[in-house]
Amino acid sequence: MATTQIDQADLLSPAIREQLKPDWKNFLTKFLIVAIIAVLLGVSYHPAEVNNWTFLFSDAGNMATFIGEFLQPNFLDLDVYLLKMVETVQIALWGTFLSILFGIPCALLCSSNIAPIWIVQPMRRLMDACRAINELVFAILFVAAVGLGPFAGVMALFIHNLGIISKLFSEAVEAIDTRPVEGIRSTGASRLQEIVYGVIPQVLPLWSSFSLYRFETLVRSATVLGIVGAGGIGFTFYESFRSFQYDKAGAIIIVVVVVVSLIDILSARLRKALV
């Protein structure tokens, strides 16, 4: 029996025998990555106060009251919630529109196959700055600059989403097939004509999909901007929660979930039609 196994091993080609050898280098690399993650989690356990998870059970009475009122939503002011939710969607709509309007030229200037490197790098760093700061921080800044209200929310979403849209759009531009552009260039077309007739038709379906996705995301983001006075349903939710009216807060959450879900369904169908 042993002789048969040895004979079968001898019949294997050197390439197969090489593949059957244990890959200790790959194993040690993965083990090291897992060990580093475990160490980072361990080091951040107390600073992140994860040890307070016991409060979820030690204060079970408070949690039961909290959840109980949430599960009995009060829709007495449903008309107010719907109006505020419509305002939230309008804030997201304008934030998306402005970010796309300004994001298209910014994306082209961020694309290494369209603009020269001395323009691409500064534009990318500017868009990184827009993307790095959360929209809630921008909302606080614009509330201080232009006052309370939806316009501060529109500007906050516009600036933050501008950085994201520019990144997504520029990556699509950099992945285009250059042959149509070269064909248009060979006819003596200008640089602008190359972009309009050679670049835009290739990326338009992806740009449309990215725009719809970002609109969905901004509707969700806009729901919290009201907490700092930037309009929308967030302020109504915050006031209900702060006054311990958890039944009203539960109703507001249901309205938000239903509206966002409807927008997601509609956007998914539009994306299928466009892509």
Instruction: Say what angle helices 78-110 and 117-132 make with each other, to 10 degrees.
Output: 160
74 vs 135, higher pLDDT: 135
* DSSP code, position 189: -
Neighbours of 113 (CB within 10 A): 14
Q: Tell me if 87 sits within 8 A of 232, measured CB to CB.
A: yes
Q: How far apart are CA 157 and CA 151, in angstroms?
A: 10
Of 169, 253, 268, nearest to 216 by C-alpha is 268
Identity of the amino acid at 163: G
pTM value > 0.85:
no
Q: Tell me if 140 sits within 8 A of 228, measured CB to CB.
A: yes
User: Residue 66: pLDDT band by 50, 70, 90 thresholds?
Assistant: low
Identity of the amino acid at 130: C
92-106 in b/e burial notation, b at 16+ Cβ within 10 A? bbbbbebbbebbbeb
* Residue 265, token pair as written in the block: 């369904």
pLDDT in tens, 135-188: 889 999 998 888 888 899 999 999 999 999 999 999 988 888 888 888 888 887
Main-chain phi, psi angles of 165, to 5 degrees: -60, -45
Q: Helix, strand, or coil here: 160?
A: helix
pLDDT in tens, 9-65: 555 666 666 666 677 778 888 889 999 999 988 888 888 877 777 776 766 566 666
Q: How far apart are CA 97 and CA 211, in angstroms?
A: 9
